[in-house]
Chain A
Amino acid sequence: MQSDAKIRTEYGTDSSPQSPGCSLRHFACEQNLLSRPDGSASFLQGDTSVLAGVYGPAEVKVSKEIFNKATLEVILRPKIGLPGVAEKSRERLIRNTCEAVVLGALHPRTSITIVLQVISDAGSLMACCLNATCMALVDAGVPMQALFCGVTCALDSDGTLVLDPTAKQEKEARAVLTFALDSVDQKLLMSTTKGLYSNAELQQCLAAAQAASQHVFRFYRESLQRRYSKS
């Protein structure tokens, strides 16, 4: 089978007059690069890179089967060391986000397994994992009601907002907020935050994330258009 690896890159920018730090790093996405999984994708955001593989819908263990929906399972492997409690927590976040979006009712009593491997971590890891998961699910042909994307915002000590922070910016930030937004009406699907922040700052970050997600969704669309127009 011919592997159809397409690399599509785009520089996503969203610079608003009041906050010059609001710009996303360079994205790149490659699909269908692994031969064994039903779908796979590698997503790059700046220097952060995550590889995702999707197996499914496939057979499920009787103990885990759900009679009217597909069972989703997420395995996240860190770059170094054994997976720990933090990975379990992230797996739960990604799994619940996918469960909200994947049309599990079309494949009852099956399992959809998503395996993520962190290749390099240079900030915004959770967002990159979410983006890679979405692209891999699309590549596998799993029916979904919407696409989703991850966006990370960091608030530094004087309250300036930085989108898609690097590892250094995340470390120095007062708060780091990661959101998963859906493509239909940018509703908040998942949120995980670190640090202290006020309600007003939360609204500001959410608005910035919703604006940034438009770039990510446009990138998804162009990437998929490029891929399917050739074949």
Chain B
Amino acid sequence: MAAGFKTVEPLEYYRRFLKENCRPDGRELGEFRTTTVNIGSVSTADGSALVKLGNTAVICGIKAEFAAPSPEAPDKGYVVPNVDLPPLCSSRFRSGPPGEEAQVASQFIADVIENSQIILKEDLCISPGKLAWVLYCDLICLDYDGNILDACTFALLAALKNVQLPEVTINEETALAEVNLKKKHYLNIRTHPVATSFAVFDDTLLIVDPTGEEEHLATGTLTVVMDEEGKLCCLHKPGGSGLTGAKLQDCLSRAVTRHKEVKKLMDEVIKSMKAK
């Protein structure tokens, strides 16, 4: 009977739960889904990570290649993110050129990388004006159940921490690059941006980590990206119902706690990997 009600009046069904300050999957309004992360699973990539946020699964693979730096910035390398939402992850996506959702997510990740200065592009330069690294970050969603931006940001961060670049020297006589695969070093990750997404219901209620259905019923969304010093890299609110200053403050304080949780999880995983 509940299933019938849910199909006919999804919003009303949802409101019944919200009145009791909980959600259909049993979570509180401010509770995140179980987050799991698996680092280094893709052996063909230079760095990889698989993040699961409840049912939402995103895998990030990073490949490093050589490129000539652009003449406007001869001492900078490149970081090129791309978010792919294939038909595999949800029935709403069709195969073909990237849809709007994928493009918006790619732009969001590019903005996070740029704003948070997670790696200095100067660190990716091998020889100014001649050779630099370009990191192709491919984020593929395997299962879409809402909150794709949080999962992508976390996957990207974990994968970047996993990337090992070989040492490259430029041979003076031949002017060719010599790659020493035996000597690899990790990237210098300067900050750890963590994204926290909220959905706004009926212009008043804020819930954290929306699932796919919740996102569909919500009247607005908000994503806050924060680094460890409490500085904001991105406040992404693509329209939707208005928020007052007080509600915004609540979101920011929740984002601070979430940052600590995610950082702890990632440190544990990296420590266990290094121990092996």
Chain A residues within CB distance 8 Å of chain B: 85-86, 88-89, 91-100, 177, 180, 182, 185, 187-199, 202-203, 206-207
Contacts and interface: CB of A to CB of B under 8 A. Distances in A.
B240 A192 contact: no
Interface stretch (B67-75, B229-237, B265-273): B229-237
Interface of B: 100, 103-104, 106-108, 111, 114-117, 219-220, 227, 230-245, 248-249, 252
Given A86-B107, A89-B108, A100-B219, A191 B242 contact: no
Given A177-B235, A193-B234, A196-B231, A92 B104 contact: yes
Contacts of B233: 195-196
B107 to A, nearest CB: 4
Classify the interface of chain A: helix, strand, loop or mixed.
helix
A93 B239 contact: yes
Contacts, number: 101
Contacts of A85: 103, 106-107
Majority secondary structure of chain B interface residues (helix, strand, loop or mixed): mixed
Contacts of A89: 103-104, 107-108
A206 B234 CA distance: 14
A88 B240 contact: no
A203 to B, nearest CB: 7
Given A192-B236, A206-B245, A199 B107 contact: no
A92 B101 CA distance: 9
B237 A88 contact: no
Contacts of A207: 245
A180 B238 CA distance: 10
A197 B240 contact: no
